[in-house]
Amino acid sequence: MPVTLDPDAAAVFKAFLEAGRPPYETVSPVEAREFYLQARFVSNPEPPELKSIEPLAIPSPAGSIPARVYTPVKLRKANDLAPCLVFFHGGGWVIGNLDSHDVVCRKLADEGQLIVISIDYRLAPEHKFPAAVNDVVAATKWIADHAKQLGIDASRLMVGGDSAGGNLAAVVAISARDNGPAIAGQVLIYPAVDFAMKHPSHSEPETSVLLTHTAIKWFSGHYLNSAADGNDWRASPARATTLAGLPPSYVLTAGADPLRDEGDEYVKRLKEAGVAVTYRHFPGQFHGFFTMGRLLPQANVAASDIGAWLRALN
């Protein structure tokens, strides 16, 4: 599939190359986390003002999970309870944290007029698969169980995330379908859904932009215990026996993204399973653009679109 970057995306990519930042696969996970966080501070747009941002500690069998609760100024309530999006940050299960996606969560809370709870799940390689899965499943269940205390309407509880976070959101939605709690919707922003990595977009030179093909192998090598883990639907939600019964879904993909084709195929499978799907494709953008609203206007378009979808859903 021919891919041409939008002019602003091409300019960002050129600046990235000229900056000479070392590729992720050439540094340690600790160094990669520092580089990633520095880049977010440069590329994030000005955050909207919110009513409150509060820390939250979620108990789990593996210990306390740090989280952050975002409450916008304009909050949609029914019977004094608000909808909630439980958000899982991207970063290949190796990098990223509450701070790297702080502005994204502020924007989603503001645009969606709902509470956003960001989850700081355990990272690899210190905590390999399925530690992150266990954390996000446990956190979502705890939030559902304590919804009223948090001012949340449990019937309007949604999950979402970008990249690896989109993977985790998809996994939580499948787990919740089978074991609870009820999930009202899922937002999957250029999600990783299949560790087979055999779709055409995984080998096209035009898609190896910021998330390169070699970087993906570096991330997966840190996250999975072995290649066999990739066959587990909790790592590759596309391997789930069926996607029937999943909640309404918003899926976003980018043209210059190795994950493009697996996201597109996941959309098709959702639709074939009878799931209501809103699909948005940004052909001239690369993987990771959603967090770059200061540099890429299309990121802000996407955030507004997701916000509108969330408002219409509940």
Catalytic residues: 163, 257, 287
Locate tokens 């493009």: which residue? 260
Strands 82-88 and 152-162: parallel
**Cα three-residue angle 54-101-66, rounded to 5 degrees:** 45
Strand partners, 161: 88, 188
Strands (E), 128-276: 152-162, 185-189, 249-256
Strand partners, 84: 115, 157
Strand partners, 65: 58
Instruction: Count the neighbouring beta carbons within 10 Å of the beta carbon of residue 241.
Output: 7
Instruction: Count the neighbouring beta carbons within 10 Å of the beta carbon of residue 54.
Output: 11
Euclidean distance between CA atoms 169 and 119, whole angstroms: 11
What distance, in Å, lies between the first and last C-alpha atoms of the chain?
36
For 312, the enclosing helix (H) or strand (E) is helix 297-313
**Cα three-residue angle 129-278-237, rounded to 5 degrees:** 20
Instruction: Count the neighbouring beta carbons within 10 Å of the beta carbon of residue 297.
Output: 13
Strand partners, 50: 72
Strands 249-256 and 277-286: parallel
